[in-house]
Amino acid sequence: MEKLLSAEDFSFWDKNGYVVIPDVVPPQNLQAVIDEIWDFLGMSPDEPDDWYREPATKGGMVEMYQTQGLWNNRQHPKVHQAFSEIWGTQKLWVSMDRANFKPPQREDKPDWKHEGMIHWDLDTSKRPIAFGVQGVLYLEDTGEDQGTFQCVPGFHRYFEEWVRSQPEDRNPSHPDLEGLDISKIAGKAGDLLIWHRLLAHGNSVNRSDRPRLAQYITMSPANDVDEKARKDRVHLWKERLSPKGFLGDERRWEENNPPAELTDLGRRLVGLDTWSGQPEEVD
């Protein structure tokens, strides 16, 4: 199989802590999740005055986790290949993460003002900090002014040096941004952006006239020997539940649908089937 990441891509990854892989999933996959988001929210793309109410949130998180569209992207072979090349192994489990719908800022919607944020999805005061990655799939073309992903490029390389310059009581989840250069990363529909978990990141302010639409996806090495973890993952998929630590949808909207259908690859990415006997390293 042809590589997705070139030597130049890995050099960019090492320097900046993120990489963008274009055209990872086909348009029909993207549209399926877009349609699910609108359906979940009970909104229409043609009625922007109606975008500013629950279950939407000003920060953009959409509390759906187990739809068929989300799973079709998680189990798409090129998505798996991208993470396999980063990790150096095909034996991965996929996250059961959310989508994002961040509406534009409007003067007549002051309660929905959200300037974006920069954070880590881990407690950076704890050691050791294991290597890990995160990812976001651009469902539509997303401009720099559209609430897109933003980060501090290269922060993973000088994180420890930066920590030594900070007070002992620094916020371990939200860095002091003084002196840090933040970049907003525009993307095309179907782009997959993968970033190093130590890269301070977040979404940005949406000053456009369109919402930002995205799906969060990441993968990490499978732990097939941890039977409890494997069964817990299967339970989440089967019962259409949100993972521990996530807010979830109090309406339990997803339970109206059957469990998502999985391919052979999808079954391994969940933990229904193990990776035993599969090749360990990516050639």
Q: Are 269 and 219 in contact (CB under 8 A)?
A: yes
- Which domains, and CATH codes, for the chain? 7-270 (2.60.120.620)
Backbone dihedral angles phi then psi of residue 134, each to the nearest 5 degrees: -135, 165
pLDDT tens string for the chain (283 positions)? 789 999 999 999 999 999 999 999 999 999 999 999 999 999 999 999 999 999 999 999 999 999 999 999 999 999 999 999 999 999 999 999 999 999 999 999 999 999 999 999 999 999 999 999 999 999 999 999 999 999 999 999 999 999 999 999 999 999 999 999 999 999 999 999 999 999 999 999 999 999 999 999 999 999 988 999 999 999 999 999 999 999 999 999 999 999 999 999 999 999 999 998 665 444 4
Model's pTM, two decimal places? 0.95
**Omega of the bond leading into 211 within 30 degrees of 0 (cis):** no
The two tokens of residue 171 are 């916020």
What is the DSSP code string of 1-13? ---SS-HHHHHHH
pLDDT, tens digit, 9 for 90 and up, residues 8-65: 999 999 999 999 999 999 999 999 999 999 999 999 999 999 999 999 999 999 999 9
Please answer whether residues 19 and 5 qualify as being in contact, where contact means their C-beta atoms are separated by less than 8 angstroms. yes
The residues facing 134 across adjacent strands are 195
Give the separation between CA 6 and CA 20, rounded to whole angstroms.
Answer: 11
| DSSP character at residue 206 | B
R_g over Cα of the chain: 19
